Amino acid sequence: MKSTFMHDIAIDNLKALFNQLENEKQYQPDWLFHLRSRAFENFLIHKFPTKKDETYKYTSLEPHFSGKLTYLSQTKCSNINIDEVFKCDVPSLDTHLIILVNGWYYASSQQELLHETSDGLIYGSLREVTNKKPELIKPYFAQSSRTINNFLDDLNLSFMQDGLFVYIPPQARLEKPIQVINLVVADEAVQIYPRHLIISESSHLTQILFCDHSLNISPFVMNGTMEIYLKDNAKLSFYRMQNAHNHSIQLTNNYITQSHQSEFKSVYVTLHGGVVRNNIFVQINGEEAKNSMYGLWLADKNQHIDYFTHVNHNKPASESNQFFKGILDDEATGIFSGKIFVAKDAQKTNAYQSNKNLIISQNAKVRSKPQLEIYADDVKCSHGSATGKLDDDAMFYLRSRGISHKESCQLLMFAFASDITNQIDIDPLKEEIETLVDKRLRGELSRCNRCSISCT
Amino acid sequence: MNSEDIIQNLTQSDYKYGFTTNIETETFPKGINEDIIRRLSEIKGEPSFMLEWRLKAFEYWKQMEMPTWAHLKIPPIDYQEIIYYAAPKKNKAPESLDDIDPELKKTFDKLGIPLEEQKQLSGVAVDAVMDSVSIKTTFKETLANLGIIFCSMSEAIREHPDLVKKYLGSVVPYTDNFFAALNSAVFSDGSFVYIPKGVRCPMELSTYFRINAKNTGQFERTLIIADEDSYVSYLEGCTAPMRDEHQLHAAVVELIALKNAEIKYSTVQNWYPGDKNGKGGIYNFVTKRGICKEENSKISWTQVETGSAITWKYPSCILKGDNSIGEFYSVAVTNNYQQADTGTKMIHIGKNTRSRIVSKGISAGYSQNSYRGLVKIMKNADNARNFTQCDSMLLSDKCGAHTFPYIEIDNPTAIAEHEATTSRIGEDQIFYCNQRGISTEDAVGLIVNGYAREVLNQLPMEFAVEAQKLLQITLENSVG
């Protein structure tokens, strides 16, 4: 009965919040308000998923929405020490730096909210673009996310205020990566709904680096949606590092839509987080498109990390490759559910999926659900899943060479993780993440490298 | 003939067991209610504990709804339109072969089932179940000398109530699922096997299930108990006449392996699959589960699924005893508009438990074929080991092949591996065979048989041959 009770509280809270926003006429363009109302209606119809819902079988999220969570209806950046923020930067990496604070685009002045470079690159605050250049976002906004029933996106769309917008025109060549630091700084428990939109038309590779951090330890729920559209021939690499403290609930919904011959690559590394759920939905709508996704999670204590991927091959001759690995210690739970869907006409599809998990402690748990759903015959699809402990032979090899048990474990775990970290193509970033992973595995990384706040 | 035609041909051969037997049957009126269950129990001469159990199951079933999570499109089933009991009419129990209705004997002869002991050389003891009632169990005396009980379920309930009371519902309780509850309420017969301590059953035990009467559902219940240090191999086969309407088959099979015992359970399922437009056919919704109750026991499931309009079953193993072993070998073939959602569950509870899953799916025509499996390694299952391989082969561009594994691991010393591939018969493979003078049709047969070999090899010899043929017939006219 407890859960029903929580359920009601959570829904009442959200209803009250929605009504409040409606009355305050927050975020006004009519078309957006319309979308938002429909999303909330949809949420009220379906409500929170139960354990019987296949997509949320192993992760129950409603309890996290039932507590008292403050909603930040305006940007509050005054109390940020920007020097502090820059400490989270990757040294020796020159980037277009963007900072999001509590889901709001951070800028020192109004002009800084939107940038347009000489080669046509436009980036800045999603809210600002919505007001100033709605024609840029309207054809894309919430197009891909609304095709799939996902209560987290319903909530995000209902309550979103701001986020990142990036448009890369054809022929634009970005010399340096775009780095986004997604910070949470709050004195009380907050709920945050950032929404990001990235559109690329450029056949030159664009690299985007996304770092999630928290600057203090007050709990929060962050439910973000990111939509990425790759037009014909577009190339994009996306790296995301999740490293917020262990009282945080980090929920991300990522929608990737790919056209003809586009190439998308993503690497997710989850170092810290209380409850993490990453939904990744890929729609391959063009022929000969390529998609590769990698993920690594290192979980200990009571952390609960859930990766959910869904790759739809809708057109022929496309390729996808998923490789996800987890290391679980203490009482942590690691979940991977992935689906490859090949539509009837998507002949000549090559799709692969692999999930590997390492269990270190007696009480850690792994749930793995790699799935294939295939309606075309001329395809090559496979998936694999393996879960186990550190290899005894490898351990013996190291021990017989005088390496301590602890050090041997470290080495083997690091090697296990390196399959994923090696996929990072930006060298300074790769080194940085490898260092973080190494420290994390040693239990030393209870905080980011140069960060003065401890995130335990 | 080009290769596409050959595929087409290969998948369109006829169902050869589709005849009906004109035999007088005694049937209940349509529908299910308490009276039907009471009457059924009365006819069977069951002790009161059975009736109580049935009624409890029925009460429970009434509150349940049919699950919808499977990857299947199931038209609504009206449970009040089904006849729950149909039996060949007889005046008294047959005492010798001469007492069996000659029509009935003819039926089983047509199916190639050796009911007559003197004629059969294969050395298989058979229990034949037509519609709802066990007709004849052969080789009973030979087995009885060893202390083996092999009889129909109704007989076991009457003559061995202690064993039945102790084990019936212990692996699949009536609360388990919708169809198990329904079966518990209305099951009419089935087979019962008990192998005493230290006995290795000298011959294959076999049950042949046949649905004959119209509008009936078949609800049989099989219970196999292998006591300490014993071994038994059990085969099950099934066919049904061709009819336009769907018929429901909801059986429950329970296996119990005690210390050091081994049970090998093989199924060649060939219920009527419906015609090539998907009309008619059997709904095969079966709950099969075995428990390795004590240490060093082993349960092995082998299934060749070629029939039924819809197959929905997961023969499972609960590996409770330390060092116990569970195996699952499956070939599931779907053609035309057939649908299958089948697989297994391996629940590792004891230490050093091992399980192995090999599943081969073949889909042709417009069919949908899914593997769904669970591997669960519980917290205390130290050194548990699982290996799963599930491959799918697609023979047309209109069919689907799906894989839904669930892997849940709560122990750090466990190793669980899963791998799956989906592919079709390569043009290069066909070309290779053609080059060596093998026709495309034979080549496809060869490749499919090679693909399924790992599973077919697990079948007892008599069945392996039948299964191989069946595979060929089911896919006849379907390759390209």
Check residue B122 and give its pLDDT.
41
pLDDT of A2 > 70? The answer is no
Rg (alpha carbons) of chain A, rounded to whole number: 21
Q: Residue A403 falls within a domain, yes or no? A: no
- Output the six-digit token pair for B435: 């080059």
Query: On the CB side of B433, how many CA atoms lie within 13 Å of its CA?
Result: 16
CB contact under 8 A, B421 and A382: yes
| Poorest-pLDDT segment among A86-90, A133-137, A149-153, B228-232 | A86-90
Q: Residue B350 falls within a domain, yes or no? A: yes
pLDDT of B77 > 50? The answer is yes
What confidence tens digit (pLDDT) does each residue in A96-118 have? 888 898 888 988 788 888 988 88
From chain A, pick out residues whose CB is under 8 angstroms from the CB of B408. Answer: 365-368
Q: Residue B188 falls within a domain, yes or no? A: yes
> What number of other Cβ atoms are within 10 A of residue B384's Cβ?
26
Q: What band does A89 get if pLDDT is binned at 50, 70 and 90? A: low
A370 closest CA partner among A339, A331, A348: A339
pLDDT of B45 > 70? The answer is yes
Q: Residue A147 falls within a domain, yes or no? A: yes
Class of residue B245 by CB neighbours under 10 A (exposed 0-12, middle 13-18, buried 19+): exposed
Q: Residue A238 falls within a domain, yes or no? A: yes
Comparing CB atoms, the residue among A368, A380, A383 nearest residue B423 is A380
Q: Residue B385 falls within a domain, yes or no? A: yes
Minimal C-alpha gap between B428 and chain A (Å):
13
Check residue B246 and give its pLDDT.
80
User: Partners of B272 in the beta sheet?
Assistant: none
Task: List, in order, residues 6 or more apart from A433 with CB less than 8 Å away.
Answer: A241, A269, A421, A424
Q: Residue A419 falls within a domain, yes or no? A: no
CB contact under 8 A, B409 and A362: no
- Gap between the Cα atoms of B327 and B414, Å rounded: 17
CB contact under 8 A, A368 and B407: yes
B458 closest CA partner among B298, B277, B259: B298
CB contact under 8 A, B419 and A383: yes
Q: Residue B480 falls within a domain, yes or no? A: no
Q: What angle in degrees, to the nearest 10, is found between the helix axes of A427-442 and A405-421?
A: 150
Q: Residue A317 falls within a domain, yes or no? A: yes
From chain A, pick out residues whose CB is under 8 angstroms from the CB of B419. Answer: 382-385
The answer to whether A73 and A161 are in contact (CB under 8 A) is: yes
Q: Residue A35 falls within a domain, yes or no? A: yes
What confidence tens digit (pLDDT) does each residue in A300-326 have? 889 999 999 999 999 999 999 999 999
What confidence tens digit (pLDDT) does each residue in B349-384 have? 999 999 999 999 999 889 999 999 999 999 999 999
The answer to whether A88 and A181 are in contact (CB under 8 A) is: yes
- Gap between the Cα atoms of A4 and A24, Å rounded: 30
CB contact under 8 A, B412 and A366: no
- Output the six-digit token pair for A302: 């009571």
Task: List, in order, residues 6 or more apart from A86 with CB less than 8 Å away.
Answer: none
Average pLDDT over residues B457-473: 74
Total domain count, chain B: 1
What confidence tens digit (pLDDT) does each residue in A323-355 have? 999 999 999 999 999 999 999 989 999 999 999
Comparing CB atoms, the residue among A54, A363, A382 nearest residue B419 is A382
Across B17-21, B401-405, B454-458, which has the greatest mean pLDDT? B401-405
Minimal C-alpha gap between A157 and chain B (Å):
29
Amino acid at B480: G
Q: Residue B324 falls within a domain, yes or no? A: yes
Check residue B10 and give its pLDDT.
46
Across B137-141, B403-407, B420-424, which has the greatest mean pLDDT? B403-407
CB contact under 8 A, B400 and A373: yes
Task: List, in order, residues 6 or more apart from A267 with CB less than 8 Å away.
Answer: A237, A238, A239, A240, A293, A294, A295, A296, A420, A421, A423, A424
CB contact under 8 A, B397 and A377: yes
Task: List, in order, residues 6 or more apart from A185 with CB less than 8 Å away.
Answer: A79, A80, A101, A102, A214, A215, A216
CB contact under 8 A, B413 and A383: no
- Output the six-digit token pair for B159: 């003559």
Q: Is A239 left (phi over 0), alpha (psi -120 to 50) or beta?
A: beta
Looking at every residue in chain B, the average pLDDT score rounds to: 83
Task: List, in order, residues 6 or more apart from A382 with CB less than 8 Å away.
Answer: A351, A352, A353, B419, B420, B421, B422
Class of residue A443 by CB neighbours under 10 A (exposed 0-12, middle 13-18, buried 19+): exposed
**Measured CA distances, A408 to A151, A327, A390, A391 (Å):** 43, 15, 10, 11
Q: How many CB contacts within 8 angstroms connect chain A with chain B? A: 119
> CA A353 from chain center: how many Å?
18
Minimal C-alpha gap between B435 and chain A (Å):
22
Looking at every residue in chain A, the average pLDDT score rounds to: 88
* pLDDT above 70 coverage of chain A, percent: 91
Comparing CB atoms, the residue among A362, A379, A387 nearest residue B407 is A387
From chain B, pick out residues whose CB is under 8 angstroms from the CB of A365. Answer: 408-410
pLDDT of A455 > 50? The answer is no
Minimal C-alpha gap between A60 and chain B (Å):
16
- Gap between the Cα atoms of B267 and B237, Å rounded: 6
Check residue A175 and give its pLDDT.
86
Average pLDDT over residues B270-290: 87
pLDDT of B190 > 90? The answer is no
- Output the six-digit token pair for A255: 């929608």
Comparing CB atoms, the residue among B400, B403, B424 nearest residue A375 is B400
CB contact under 8 A, A378 and B402: no
Q: Which residues of B65-92 are buried (b: 16+ CB within 10 A; e: fewer)?
A: eeeeebbbebeeeebeebbbbbbbeeee
Check residue B94 and give its pLDDT.
47
Average pLDDT over residues B233-244: 74
The pairing of beta strand A70-71 with beta strand A190-192: parallel
* pLDDT above 90 coverage of chain B, percent: 43
Q: What band does B480 get if pLDDT is binned at 50, 70 and 90? A: very low
Check residue A456 and give its pLDDT.
36
What confidence tens digit (pLDDT) does each residue in B161-188 have? 999 999 999 999 999 999 999 999 998 8
Task: List, in order, residues 6 or more apart from A255 with CB less than 8 Å away.
Answer: A144, A145, A148, A225, A226, A227, A228, A281, A283
Average pLDDT over residues B70-90: 82
Minimal C-alpha gap between B398 and chain A (Å):
7
From chain A, pick out residues whose CB is under 8 angstroms from the CB of B396. Answer: 377
Q: Which residue has the tokens 């799906």?
A: B402
Q: Residue B182 falls within a domain, yes or no? A: yes
Total domain count, chain A: 1
pLDDT of B473 > 80? The answer is no
Minimal C-alpha gap between A151 and chain B (Å):
20
Domain span at residue A250 reads: 2-391
- Output the six-digit token pair for A351: 């799709």
Average pLDDT over residues B73-96: 72
From chain B, pick out residues whose CB is under 8 angstroms from the CB of A364. Answer: 412
Q: What band does B212 get if pLDDT is binned at 50, 70 and 90? A: low
> Three-class SS of residue A33?
helix
| Percent composition of chain B: helix, strand, coil (DSSP 3-state, to 5) | 25, 35, 40
pLDDT of B395 > 90? The answer is no
Backbone angles phi, psi at A93, to 5 degrees: -125, 115
Encode B311-379 in three state secondary structure: EEECCEEEECCCCCEEEEEEEEEECCCCEEEECCEEEECCCCCEEEEEEEEEECCCCEEEEEEEEEECC
Average pLDDT over residues B254-279: 89
Q: What band does A67 get if pLDDT is binned at 50, 70 and 90? A: confident
pLDDT of B468 > 50? The answer is yes
- Gap between the Cα atoms of A318 and B312, Å rounded: 33
Residues 380-409 of B with CB under 8 A from A: 392, 394-409
Check residue A353 and give its pLDDT.
93
pLDDT of B97 > 70? The answer is no
Q: Residue B400 falls within a domain, yes or no? A: yes
Check residue A414 and give its pLDDT.
93
Domain span at residue B163 reads: 3-475
Q: Residue B438 falls within a domain, yes or no? A: yes
Comparing CB atoms, the residue among B402, B411, B417 nearest residue A386 is B417
**Measured CA distances, B190 to A46, A308, B166, B225, B270 (Å):** 44, 44, 17, 14, 18
CB contact under 8 A, A372 and B407: no
Minimal C-alpha gap between B296 and chain A (Å):
23
Check residue B443 and give its pLDDT.
86
**Cα angle, residue A416 at apex, residues A410 and A422 outer, rounded to 5°:** 115
* pLDDT above 90 coverage of chain A, percent: 53
Minimal C-alpha gap between A341 and chain B (Å):
9
ipTM summary value: 0.84
What confidence tens digit (pLDDT) does each residue in A378-389 have? 898 889 899 998
Task: List, in order, residues 6 or more apart from B132 with CB less than 8 Å away.
Answer: B84, B85, B86, B87, B188, B189, B216, B218, B219, B220
Task: List, in order, residues 6 or more apart from B101 with CB less than 8 Å away.
Answer: B23, B88, B90
> CA B300 from chain center: how many Å?
13
CB contact under 8 A, B422 and A374: yes
pLDDT of B409 > 50? The answer is yes
The pairing of beta strand A114-116 with beta strand A122-125: antiparallel
Comparing CB atoms, the residue among B397, B405, B408 nearest residue A376 is B397
> CA A191 from chain center: how many Å?
17
Amino acid at A214: S
> Three-class SS of residue B397?
coil
CB contact under 8 A, B395 and A377: yes
A116 closest CA partner among A106, A125, A108: A125
DSSP secondary structure letters along A356-401:
EEEE-STT-EEEEEEEEEE--SS-EEEEEEEEE---HHHHHHHHTT
Check residue B349 and give its pLDDT.
96
Query: On the CB side of B348, how many CA atoms lie within 13 Å of its CA?
Result: 32
Q: What band does B131 get if pLDDT is binned at 50, 70 and 90? A: low
Q: Residue A421 falls within a domain, yes or no? A: no
Higher pLDDT, B143 or B385: B385
